[in-house]
Chains A and B, each alone.
Chain A
Amino acid sequence: MPDSQSNPVSEPAPAPFQRKGAIGRLAAIGVVVAVIAGLFLYAGGWLTPHALTPATMVNTFEHLNGVHDGFRRNHAKGVGVTGYFESNGQGQALSKAQVFQPGRVPLVGRLAFAGGMPFAADSPHDVRSLALLFKTADGEEWRTGMINIPIFPVNNPQDFHAFLVATSPDPSTGKVNGAAAGAFIGAHPETQAALKILGGNAPTSGFGDSPYYALNAFRFVNAKGESTPVRWWAKPDQSFAPANAAPADAATPGSAPPPTPPPDKNFMFDAVIAQIHSAPLHWHLMVIVGQPGDPTAQAASQWPADRQQIDVGTITIDAIQSEDTSPVRDINFDPTVLPDGISVSDDPLLSARSAAYSQSFTRREGEKKIPSAVSTAEVQK
């Protein structure tokens, strides 16, 4: 090796390179590197490939529903909505978040069906969601994803994954494995209790007459630094209309079944589009105030019915857009995006939702976007 510089180092190293013990010292370096690299691999999960991670959670959704490029892996079929939240100031005693000061805050939101099929037919028996993003003048954001059932069937992400696998139709047969579902429910009394409560709730007919519940507990922190466990839900102003029990009127004996065409695949979205075009929809944002000792990490159970509920303001939805034009297609309604004054509780589902939503978001944002089931033309009808 030619060494043009006047560097005194070349073949016969004059440096005090001590051969004695050099192998041992080299090995020591190797050990240090191996330990650090090993810890890094362990931390990154490469040594525990079967652990439940956000990626495996989303893989399961993809396995059960198929991969639909560009769409959310859950709550895939939806529309964008906009409106505003009119705070009445009642929330300020519990939370210092600017959103609770009296006044108006713009809202961007999304109405959707749970499930990973972006072109599935609407059904009032499927779980529906209302996701909202409140953005206050101070630049802070509050994102919340709520669904039309008051409690969740499970309490933690591991159980959720197992529940999902046990109770979803097998993608190859299209059938639920009754034995697996039964085994899961049998082993989880909290799920059994939750399903009993949920089974007693008649589903509403549409998006507008549904209540939407945040499910998980959070904490409100007020200006004095006092922290209160809370849950919230959106109580509809639109009056309740029960979902039609599908083939009820076909029971008339002797006469031919009336030639009612099967409902349009988007009939519930079409209904809410028509509703919003005729008049804005309203919900009251209700905060359930927890007492000390109320569990904050059990989304599968309700707090006692006598807990104080504070109406903190009105949610108004006055416009609706196809996902093709709405910004919500590219917004992750991560429930842990919270303003100062609202914080997460110890509910492990909150962190898990954040992690899994992020995984789903990252995947779909990198994929080719195809038009959503509810088109731009449809929302203008």
Chain B
Amino acid sequence: MSTTSNPAQFAFLSRILHWLMAALLIAMLFIGVSMVRSLGDYHWLLAIHRPLGITILILALIRLVTRLSNRTPPLPPTVPSSERAIMKLSEFLMYALFIALPLVGWAMLSAGHYPIVMFGSFHLPPILPARPELYATLRKTHTILAYLLFLAFLAHMSGVLFHQWVIRDGFLGRMLPWTVRPQKGEGRG
């Protein structure tokens, strides 16, 4: 009786990673947007922002591997093919942003001649040479990608809630961390 064998849901690890990353990413977006306008709280927010970003990068890579190496549960019949294409695209976009945002942040600090401090004496090496114009471009890119991720998150959440609350096709069950029996349930065991 494996917990991952329910064909109506994503793999257990995928589901856990989804909710963990959702919490971290939302926290990260709020930290980022408050940090850049803050004077007194800037330092501690930034001190969280860097290691949290790298944590998200690591989780995103694990999640990508998990996603590619597991079967995905079928979409309910309430999802028309046009919407399937949008879902694929938005999933791809979100994975791309999960990975690109921390990488751009890391690259931006490298180009800006900053040490990439994680915690204590642990720091990461630069991934780009120190180059001012590169820093300026990456700094802007980091902001734009973050806004894009926030909009993607809102769209994703709205879409899922639409299925769950308006169409009521049990769409959210595919990703819930606990086991949800398929709608035409064949029971347990």
Tally A-B pairs: CB < 8 A. 147
B13 within 8 A of A: no
Contact, CB under 8 Å: A29 / B166 = yes
Query: Judging by beta carbons under 8 Å apart, are A330 and B154 in contact?
Result: no
Residue A201, interface by CB 8 Å: no
**Is the CB of A365 closer than 8 A to any CB of chain B?**
yes
Assess A361 versus B34: contact at CB under 8 Å? Given A29-B165, A351-B42.
no
Given A22-B166, A140-B115, A340-B121, answer yes or no on A366-B133 (Cβ-Cβ < 8 Å). Answer: yes
A332, B113: Cβ atoms closer than 8 Å? yes
Q: Is the CB of A337 within 8 A of B115?
A: yes
Given A29-B166, A37-B154, A157:B39 Cβ within 8 A: yes
Query: Are B168 and A340 touching (Cβ within 8 A)?
Result: no
CB distance from A156 to the nearest CB of B (A): 8
Q: Mark B60-95, 1 if CB is under 8 A from A, else 0.
A: 000000000000000011111110000000000000
CA–CA, A170 to B121, complex, Å? 45
A199 contacts chain B at the CB level, 8 A cutoff = no
Residues of chain A lying within 8 A (CB to CB) of residue B43:
336, 344, 350-351, 354-355
Q: Which residues of B contact A8 (CB under 8 A)?
A: 77
B157–A32 contact, CB under 8 A?
Answer: yes
B2 within 8 A of A: no
Task: Say whether, besides A7-B80, A53-B39, A365 and B121 are in contact (CB < 8 Å).
Answer: no
Nearest Cβ on chain A to B157's Cβ, whole angstroms: 7
| Residues of B117-161 whose CB lies within 8 A of A | 117, 120-121, 123, 125, 130, 132-133, 135-137, 139-140, 150, 154, 157-158, 161
Distance of A356 Cα from B158 Cα, bound (Å): 37
**Is A39 an interface position by the 8 A CB rule?**
yes
Q: Could you tell me if B29 and A40 are in contact, using CB atoms closer than 8 angstroms?
A: yes
| Docked pose: A327 CA to B136 CA in angstroms | 16
Closest to A25 in B: B165
Contact assessment for B80 and A352 in the assembled complex, using a CB-CB cutoff below 8 Å: no
Q: How far is the CA of A337 from the CA of B43 in the complex (A)?
A: 10
In the bound complex, CA of A352 to CA of B39 (Å): 4
Q: How large is the interface on B (under 10, 10 to 19, 20 to 34, 35 or more residues)?
A: 35 or more
A309 to B41, CA, bound (A): 31
Total number of A residues with any Cβ neighbor in B under 8 Å: 64
A19 to chain B, nearest CB (A): 10
Q: Contact: B39 with A57, CB < 8 Å?
A: yes
B19 near A: Cβ within 8 Å?
no
Contact residues in A for B80 (Cβ distance below 8 Å): 3, 7, 9-10
Asked if B102 is at the interface of the complex by the 8 Å CB criterion, the answer is no
Once the chains bind, are A355 and B113 in contact (CB under 8 Å)? no
Q: Is the CB of A17 within 8 A of B167?
A: yes
* Interface residue ranges of A13-41 to B (CB < 8 Å): 13-18, 22, 25-26, 28-29, 32-33, 36-37, 39-40
The reply to whether B113 and A327 form a contact with Cβ atoms under 8 Å apart is yes
Bound Cα distance A361, B112 (Å): 9
Q: How far is the CA of A43 from the CA of B38 in the complex (A)?
A: 10
Q: Which of A44-52, A123-131, A144-152, A258-266 interfaces with chain B? A: A44-52
Shortest 3 CB-CB contacts between residues of A and residues of B: A366-B136, A355-B42, A340-B121
**Can you spell out 23 A-B residue pairs with CB atoms less than 8 angstroms apart?**
A3-B81, A7-B81, A8-B77, A9-B80, A26-B166, A36-B154, A37-B154, A43-B33, A44-B37, A54-B37, A138-B121, A139-B123, A157-B39, A329-B132, A341-B121, A350-B43, A351-B38, A351-B41, A354-B46, A362-B135, A365-B135, A365-B136, A366-B139
- With A53-B37, A334-B114 given, name 10 new contacts (CB 8 A): A7-B77, A9-B77, A43-B33, A43-B34, A54-B36, A54-B37, A157-B39, A330-B130, A348-B39, A351-B41
